[in-house]
């Protein structure tokens, strides 16, 4: 084992960087608090006036005392659907928490946001919740209180593969895999959405509050002329005692949550994957110092070893091929006692084994080759992988191309794609181009993926993109006989840069579920430990194969 890291006072511009990153975090947390209000204070008060708990209160009521809810996709739909009044957190709360020490995914419709209606991102968020339950072999609980599909956007949620119908397909697959699904109808449950709780293993309905039917009373009247109220059509008494659709009646939200907890308490706990864990040791350096390790501006270099030193047990690592391919750090370590393999971009300007200078954040051929072998080793040993992503892409140019950068990059991508151990990705800074893929971006099925407030996610950096797009636009205008002055060119470039920067922020990514959550850098260690703890619930591994790799 090798100790890494320096005291904070020896790090360049520590306090300047610390202040800058704390300010970025403060802005993110301020937006988080707004999102957590759902439909707003007035809507929450109206919900309480009906004798109902809010979506977040329902989730809290299921948690074991003294435990925390591991919320994901908090910023789903952030700054989206504004023409319809917005949809904070996409009108759905989801995450993981313990019930009688059993990890459970829970999804709770927020009826204060458009009556819990499903927007396109709401559907995507629910699919992600089911994916997490399936991948990690943990029960899932649906707290249903929804008016159904948001009709003005029905064509974006109804017919396609990853649309609403996929929810019910996943219900069936979860059931076939023996993963428990429980549902509580705590409000409206209409049309296609009615299949979600009824395809679960067991369903509770709250008296005089929950209702479930394929068509509500207004549509029934329009369709067949029958006049009936919703309670007589599909209320608790009807669906439990006449149709037999639901299994239990609860008198109110509190009783419903108590019954859910009781049902979960009787589920057999499954086998574990058995990932290696020993007694944890804190890092030698405070986790709070991460703010001063990260750069105050995304383009500035920093030493990634200093970040690793503040999240690993005793600030120790076993570095693999330490002197080779130095633009990537590959190392075995422990985080909160868990054995883990770390693949991290080194952002400092460094000298390679061949004596040439390498730009930080760029993946070179030797680095890709090293990372490929390390990922194979972690799969061989069943060690989870942590990707610390701050990458500007693969090296370009004559020397890189002649050296086979595409071939070596493809090897790394192949290894990441076929990896069978849990992969956890944290975007600490840049995430550009094919570097996003090689460092296990969302397309490569990380069990969990998060970003720091300083993250930037796009096909290339804003300055490069704005220059390229400006040149293309100018050439298009010149072909049509128009010319732009230097001032007009600069104005156009600034406009493109502003839009590009806006679309590469972590909030933009989180809104569209490209990442699971934006996290406080100081909570990195806690986040990683929680992810492995959840992943440890699935003991099944596929056979590890990489297919054809060019050497």
Give tens-digit pLDDT for 468-504. 777 787 788 778 877 778 787 788 778 877 877 888 9
CA distance linking residue 325 with residue 318, whole number of Å: 16
How distant, in Å, are the alpha carbons of 27, 115, 175, 185 from that of 203?
Answer: 40, 21, 14, 7
Average pLDDT, the chain: 93
Give tens-digit pLDDT for 220-250. 888 899 999 899 999 999 999 999 999 999 9
Query: Is the pLDDT at 343 greater than 90, yes or no?
Result: yes
Q: How many CB atoms lie within 10 A of CB 428?
A: 26
Record the pTM. 0.94
Structure tokens given for 24? 């970025």
Is the model more confident about 7 or about 547? 7
User: What values do phi and psi take at 306, rounded to 5?
Assistant: -70, -35
How distant, in Å, are the alpha carbons of 20, 241, 292, 336, 508 from that of 307?
Answer: 16, 59, 10, 15, 25
The confidence score (pLDDT) of residue 357 equals 67
Show the DSSP H helices in 162-303 as ranges: 165-176, 195-198, 217-224, 230-234, 236-237, 253-265, 290-293
The confidence score (pLDDT) of residue 352 equals 65
Query: Is the pLDDT at 355 greater than 70, yes or no?
Result: no
What does the pLDDT average to over 312-338? 97
What does the pLDDT average to over 17-42? 97
Whether residue 343 contacts residue 387, with contact meaning beta carbons closer than 8 Å, is answered with yes
What does the pLDDT average to over 298-318? 95
Is the model more confident about 439 or about 495? 439
Query: Is the pLDDT at 391 greater than 90, yes or no?
Result: yes
Query: Is the pLDDT at 136 greater than 90, yes or no?
Result: yes
Structure tokens given for 329? 């750090």
CA distance linking residue 409 with residue 48, whole number of Å: 55
Query: Is the pLDDT at 360 greater than 80, yes or no?
Result: no
Q: What is the DSSP string of 265-290?
A: HTSPP-------B------SS-GGGH
CA distance linking residue 264 with residue 41, whole number of Å: 32
Query: Which region among 79-93, 313-327, 488-502 has the lowest average model confidence (pLDDT)?
Result: 488-502
Partner residues linked to 425 by β-bridges: 387, 449
The confidence score (pLDDT) of residue 356 equals 66
Show the DSSP H helices in 419-523 as ranges: 433-438, 462-479, 486-502, 506-511
State the pLDDT confidence band at 276, using cuts at 50, 70 and 90.
very high
Residue 243 exposed, middle or buried by CB count within 10 Å (0-12, 13-18, 19+): exposed
Query: Is the pLDDT at 334 greater than 80, yes or no?
Result: yes
CA distance linking residue 516 with residue 18, whole number of Å: 25
Query: Is the pLDDT at 432 greater than 70, yes or no?
Result: yes
The confidence score (pLDDT) of residue 479 equals 81
Contacts of 342 (CB under 8 A, 6+ apart): 308, 312, 317, 329, 330, 331, 332, 333, 385, 386, 388
- CA-based angle 509:406:549, to the nearest 5? 100
Is the model more confident about 458 or about 337? 337
What does the pLDDT average to over 108-116? 95
- 3-state class (DSSP) for residue 95: strand
CA distance linking residue 178 with residue 535, whole number of Å: 17
The confidence score (pLDDT) of residue 354 equals 66
State the pLDDT confidence band at 397, using cuts at 50, 70 and 90.
confident
Q: How many CB atoms lie within 10 A of CB 260?
A: 25
Query: Which region among 154-168, 394-408, 490-504 has the lowest average model confidence (pLDDT)?
Result: 490-504
State the pLDDT confidence band at 209, using cuts at 50, 70 and 90.
very high
- Of the candidates 333, 381, 324, the one whose C-alpha atom is nearest the C-alpha of residue 353 is 324
Structure tokens given for 189? 């449950």
State the pLDDT confidence band at 203, using cuts at 50, 70 and 90.
very high
């Amino acid at each position: 084992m090798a100790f890494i890291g320096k005291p904070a006072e020896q790090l360049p511009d520590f306090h300047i960087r610390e202040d800058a990153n704390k300010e970025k975090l403060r802005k993110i947390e301020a937006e988080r608090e707004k999102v957590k209000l759902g439909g707003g204070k007035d809507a929450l008060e109206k919900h309480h006036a009906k004798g109902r708990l809010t979506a977040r209160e329902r989730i809290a009521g299921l948690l074991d005392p003294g435990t925390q809810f591991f919320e994901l996709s908090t910023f789903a739909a952030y700054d989206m659907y504004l023409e319809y009044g917005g949809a904070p957190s996409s009108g759905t709360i989801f995450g993981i928490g313990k019930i009688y020490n059993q990890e459970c995914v829970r999804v709770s419709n927020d009826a204060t946001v458009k009556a819990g209606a499903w927007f396109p991102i709401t559907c995507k968020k629910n699919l992600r919740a089911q994916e997490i339950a399936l991948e990690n072999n943990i029960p899932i609980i649906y707290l249903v209180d929804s008016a159904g599909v948001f009709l003005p956007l029905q064509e974006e949620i109804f017919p396609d593969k990853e649309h609403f119908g996929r929810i019910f397909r996943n219900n069936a697959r979860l059931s076939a895999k023996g993963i428990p699904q429980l549902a509580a109808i705590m409000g409206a449950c209409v049309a296609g959405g009615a299949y979600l709780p009824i395809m679960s293993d067991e369903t509770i309905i709250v008296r005089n509050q929950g209702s479930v039917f394929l068509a509500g009373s207004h549509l029934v009247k329009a369709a067949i002329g029958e006049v009936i109220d919703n309670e007589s059509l599909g209320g608790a008494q009807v669906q439990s005692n006449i149709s037999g659709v639901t299994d239990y009646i609860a008198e109110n939200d509190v009783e419903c949550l108590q019954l859910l907890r009781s049902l979960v308490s009787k589920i057999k706990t499954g086998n574990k994957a058995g990932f290696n864990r020993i007694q944890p040791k804190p890092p030698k350096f405070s986790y709070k110092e991460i703010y001063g390790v990260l750069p105050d501006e995304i383009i500035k270099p920093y030493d990634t070893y200093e970040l690793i030193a503040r999240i690993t047990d005793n600030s120790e690592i076993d570095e693999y091929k330490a002197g080779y391919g130095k633009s990537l750090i590959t190392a075995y370590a422990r985080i909160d006692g868990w054995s883990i393999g770390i693949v991290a971009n080194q952002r400092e300007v460094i000298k390679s084994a061949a004596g040439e200078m390498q730009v930080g954040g760029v993946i070179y051929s030797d680095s890709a080759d090293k990372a490929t072998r390390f990922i194979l080793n972690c799969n061989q040993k069943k060690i989870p992988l942590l990707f610390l992503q701050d990458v500007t892409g693969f090296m370009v140019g004559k020397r890189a191309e002649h050296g086979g950068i595409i071939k070596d990059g493809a090897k790394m991508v192949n290894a990441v794609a076929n990896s069978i151990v849990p992969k956890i990705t944290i975007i600490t800074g840049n995430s550009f181009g094919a570097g996003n893929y090689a460092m296990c971006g969302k397309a490569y099925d990380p069990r969990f993926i998060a970003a720091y407030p300083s993250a930037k996610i796009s096909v290339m950096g804003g300055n490069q993109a704005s220059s390229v797009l400006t040149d293309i636009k100018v050439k298009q205008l010149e072909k049509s006989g128009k010319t732009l002055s230097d001032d007009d060119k600069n104005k156009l470039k600034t406009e493109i840069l502003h839009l590009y920067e806006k679309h590469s922020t972590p909030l933009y990514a989180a809104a569209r579920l490209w990442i699971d959550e934006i996290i406080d850098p100081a909570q990195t260690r806690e986040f990683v430990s929680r992810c492995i703890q959840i992943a440890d619930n699935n003991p099944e591994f596929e056979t590890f194969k990489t297919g054809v790799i060019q050497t």
